[in-house]
Structure 1
Amino acid sequence: MVNYRGADDTITCLRALRSEVDYPADRLQVICVDNASGDGSAERLREAAPDVELVEAPENLGFAGGCNLGVRHARGEVVAFLNNDARPDRDWVRAAVAVLRAEPTVGAVASKVLDWEGRTVDFVDGGLTWFGMGYKRHAGQPVDAVSPDQLDAPRDVLFGTGSAMFVRAELFRELGGFDERYFMFYEDVDLGWRLNLRGWRVRYEPRSLTFHRHHGSMGGVHSAREFYLLERNALATLYKNLSDESLAKVLPAALALAVRRATARGELDATQLEITRRPADRSEDDAPVALSRDALARVLAIDQFVELLPPLPESRRVDQSSRVRTTPTWSR
């Protein structure tokens, strides 16, 4: 579990892990990484949950880096990730571990995640658009509106949500864990995709249940920062995991669509610089143009994706050389 200035939620979750989860306490190592909160969180966590192994990061490593730091302290055969603003059901651990014991080709278990009250869906399946945008099917829909075969049927999926998932520890380390360059968002999509390409299965197990205050950890953060990370990390995930043939077709279109989303989100007039629309007063050409933060976020995401390109080819080489499957058929 990673904490960043969310001690109240984290304490609630840590206590639930110890008091509500049906699993032998001596076989459940609970690790909490405080991501250099700087607000007294570490002290509060140490006092409220003295039986939890608290790891203090030297700086804010993001969700990806914080999880990887926690795994370096893990001693078990399976590592589980749980958001600090989530609460586990009684069988959350036991159901997931049972799948990993029974099915040796399963590398990771994706938990079922509902909202805090259990009324709407947070995660029951993961999809991927052809231009690289990962999404959670049925997210936000009332539980009663989702068919039982989608809600309660175990099945293979492309990825699990990092808010509640289990991975074989040795396998997680072998893959290098979450990609820390992402900071947060899409690290779970990327991990699931890499597992699938190597022939491992990611199994959705509905009995492994959690409840989540969606994006509770993002409270007070401007939406533009979220859009920026989503766009940049989606492009990086495409670049790393698509085959050569598919990447050549998809990446140019994905970049173009990211620009289109920027103009649409920012309500920009994309034709304003057409030569036929020169103003009568030429001085107006020098006037500043207003650009919303949401539009700017997507433009900067492309710029920073390009900034990531020098080291990304090595990651791509590793992923592609380990490929035993084509792009998963559940990509859309």
Structure 2
Amino acid sequence: MTDQTTSTPAAVTPDTTSATSATSATSATGTTGAAQPLATIVIVNWNGAHLLAACLDGVAKQDASFAYRTWVVDNASTDGSRELLAERYPWVHVVAAESNLGFAGGNNLALRSVTTEYAVLLNNDAVPEPTWLTAVLAPFTEPGGQHLGATTGKVVFLPRFLRLRLHTATFVPGPHDSRALGVRVSSVTVDGREVLREVLWEKLTYGAEGPASSPYFWTRGDGELCVPIPESGPATLGFTWAAESLKQVTLSWDGPTTGADTATTGGRAELSVSPESATVTVTVGGDAPRVDVINNVGGIVLVDGYGADRGYQQVDTGQFDQPEDVFTACGNGMAIRSSLGHELGWFDDAFFLYYEDTDLSWRIRARGFAIRYVPGAVLRHVHSASSVEWSPLFVFHTDRNRLLMLTKDATARLALSAVLRYPVTTASMALRSLRQARAARGRPAIRPTLLRLRVIGSYLRLLPTMLRARRQIAATATERRGSLQSWLVSR
């Protein structure tokens, strides 16, 4: 992707500055006459008119004693986003992109013109708590803050959840699929509203399967899921599922309940599932506890080169309430010294979407700076609001960008291992698909293989650029690659 700078704004004038000040602010979205803004909040938007109001209302309510600017980069939206910004948020400076530059390119379009001491990134599908901005910037001026290159906060999922535990008998499908499967879930509703994509499945299922338009999930025999439910009052949950045979499923949760078409005792429901897909319901009482679930509390990189959200889908019980250094920062809620960002060239435009924050974090650490997790800087986030997790868009960019990141930042041994393993795994998956199709006397699933071939082709086209970047990083690094990889963690 080429760098587009023609739409980059000039320095923001006072009437486009969003600020609060203990002494001179006129309102939460007003301006200060003399106060020099300390930070610029950059929000990338693409067809997110339905998300912007909650996000910007949260920005306007920041309890900060300093001035700050708010820039929204609009990636050529066609849903009325720019009209909404002009009508309801005139204090926001809009950076108009001529095309969809993705998260990386969209942020860069603004970041390359930031003149404030700090740049702070915020997703358009995130709602900041009132103390978020003050908290995420505070460590830079605390003792030892001169060694910090960036900070990152606590990101929790926007809704609150009912924590459910599932138990059922399992079966193994066959010689080409050795998973122990429980039930196949194709729909989850709460009071009649479909929430399948909003359920947190990490501790129960093997991930989404089937087409992106109608995914389903195979559960394990035991595990936990979190279902978003209203903040108060009873909620009726509906599960549409099937299994290999007639059997029972036990759901349990904290708090008393009453059942509709189920036999229930306290926080426990015994439900039937059969080979034919059917829907069962259970009503949970209004006094069932709601919990917050963590999306990200800083990032990690695994020893095989995969990036991951630290604390992902853990119920927030205070286990991450202490500040600490982390290996990577999350692009949603990340604050960075602007001078360092300019030196590093900010994000890599070629990444477009995903892993761009991990790559930037790795480069920050290569310069000898630390990254601090700040538990008091809280955002509530609508997960995968802009791109559906496990969609072709998601898989293409996460697979390709992981290889690009390792090529730029990791030791040669780790990078080569990951890059060479990818086509081998692709061939293995294609052969397994052929064997399964032959056994079932059907057609093999070729789309996953074609998608992975696209990843390989795109990676190879970008390889010369990544190798040049690798040499540039090495020339300015103060930390050796091998030393940085001591942060990598085992699965």
TM range (shorter): 0.7 to 0.9
What is the aligned counterpart of 1:255 among 381, 397, 419?
A: 419
8 Å contact 1:158–1:328 — kept in the other structure? no
What is the aligned counterpart of 1:5 among 47, 50, 57?
A: 47
CA distance in 2, matches of 1:89, 1:74: 24
Three-state SS of the structure 2 residue aligned to 1:205 is strand
How far off its partner does 1:268 sit?
Answer: 4.6
Amino acid at match of 1:253: S
Larger-gyration structure (1/2): 2
CA distance in 2, matches of 1:310, 1:251: 14
CA distance in 2, matches of 1:166, 1:261: 37
Q: Percent identity?
A: 33
Residue 195 of structure 2 is aligned to residue 38 of structure 1: no
CA distance in 2, matches of 1:295, 1:212: 32
How far off its partner does 1:45 sit?
Answer: 1.6
CA distance in 1, matches of 2:430, 2:453: 14
How far off its partner does 1:39 sit?
Answer: 2.9
Find the counterpart in structure 2 of residue 190 from structure 1: 359
Three-state SS of the structure 1 residue aligned to 2:115 is coil
After TM superposition, the structure 1 stretch with the greater mean CA deviation from structure 2, 103-112 or 89-98, is: 89-98
Three-state SS of the structure 2 residue aligned to 1:218 is coil
8 Å contact 2:102–2:352 — kept in the other structure? yes
How far off its partner does 1:308 sit?
Answer: 0.3
Residue 326 of structure 2 is aligned to residue 157 of structure 1: yes
8 Å contact 1:31–1:70 — kept in the other structure? yes
Deviation readout 1:205-239 (Å, 9 max, x if unpaired): 111111101111115x8712211100110011101
CA distance in 1, matches of 2:49, 2:415: 40
How far off its partner does 1:256 sit?
Answer: 4.2
Summarize the alignment of residues 13-92 of structure 1 with structure 2, pairs less than 5 Å apart: 13-19=55-61, 21-24=62-65, 27-92=67-132
Summarize the alignment of residues 78-227 of structure 1 with structure 2, pairs less than 5 Å apart: 78-102=118-142, 103-117=145-159, 119-144=292-317, 148=319, 151-219=320-388, 223-227=391-395
Three-state SS of the structure 2 residue aligned to 1:63 is helix
8 Å contact 1:113–1:123 — kept in the other structure? yes
CA distance in 1, matches of 2:393, 2:452: 10
Q: Structure 1's 293 and 321: CA in aligned 2 closer, same or farther, altered over 3 A?
A: same
8 Å contact 2:156–2:379 — kept in the other structure? yes
CA distance in 2, matches of 1:171, 1:186: 19
- Greater fraction helix: 1
Q: Structure 1's 47 and 300: CA in aligned 2 closer, same or farther, altered over 3 A?
A: same
TM-score by length of structure 2 reads 0.59
Amino acid at match of 1:111: G
8 Å contact 2:58–2:130 — kept in the other structure? no
How far off its partner does 1:73 sit?
Answer: 3.9
Amino acid at match of 1:99: P
What is the aligned counterpart of 2:472 among 305, 318, 327?
A: 318
TM-score by length of structure 1 reads 0.86
Aligned length: 306
| Deviant stretches of 4+, over 2 Å | 72-75, 249-253, 255-264, 288-299
Q: CA RMSD, aligned part only?
A: 2.2
